Amino acid sequence: MTAPSVVVLDYGFGNVRSAVRALERVGAQVELTADRDAAMAADGLVVPGVGAFSAVMAGLRGVRGDWIVERRLAGGLPVLGICVGMQVMFDEGVEHGEHAEGLAQWPGVVERLDAPVVPHMGWNTVDAPVGSRLFAGIEDERFYFVHSYAAQTFTLGTDEPSDTRFHPPLVTWSDHGGRFVAAVENGPLAATQFHPEKSGDAGAQLLTNWLGTLR
């Protein structure tokens, strides 16, 4: 089988080189680019992100990354967000009292963690749901987090009618001064608040699991 093709979206923010190397190590054919045609043609798209929510959104809009994500998801094409690349999938981010619009793939607001020590930096466990494909075989592992903000609620799918055609998102949680969203699997859109590329063997297995969903 040919290696799955992955574009890591290059929009001027994010720990892109480490993400590229981590994906290459687990067998992906990786291109770092902001080219829209390449991003649309790839088997998978990774949206990395570090820093401020508003700055990441400005960078994404600067390369039409918002359009790329929207069009890929509309066509059922896989997208993986990492760290702030996950946060911007929500409606809004609030930092230092300033509100910034996100990509609005999920309802909710990203806010500062209410914890004695912020940022949340280091290894932490997660509570993955039954049926998770991202965490298959690594449900009890620890992952590496570096963040001060997170989504602390997730409401999409909680009020859906009992309909066997509807598959609610699978939400993984972690805890630092209170529960926050650590990962989401929602059809073609998946995301992690932690950095799989910095999470050793567990992170490598998570990326391998994601690559397995691309074909």
* Contact by Cβ (8 Å): 214, 4: yes
* Catalytic residue chosen out of the listed positions 120, 147, 176, 195: 195
195 a catalytic residue: yes
* Catalytic residue chosen out of the listed positions 120, 141, 176, 197: 197
147 a catalytic residue: no
> What is the SS3 assignment for 93-157?
EEECCEEEECCCCEEEEEEECCCCCCCEEEEEECECCCCCCCCCCCCCCEEEEEECEEECCCCCC
Element (H, E) at 199: none
- Residue 9: CB atoms within 10 A of its CB come to 29
* Catalytic residue chosen out of the listed positions 24, 83, 111, 120: 83
197 a catalytic residue: yes
* Contact by Cβ (8 Å): 16, 196: no
* Contact by Cβ (8 Å): 180, 110: no
Look up residue 21 and give its DSSP letter.
Answer: H
Residues labelled catalytic:
83, 195, 197
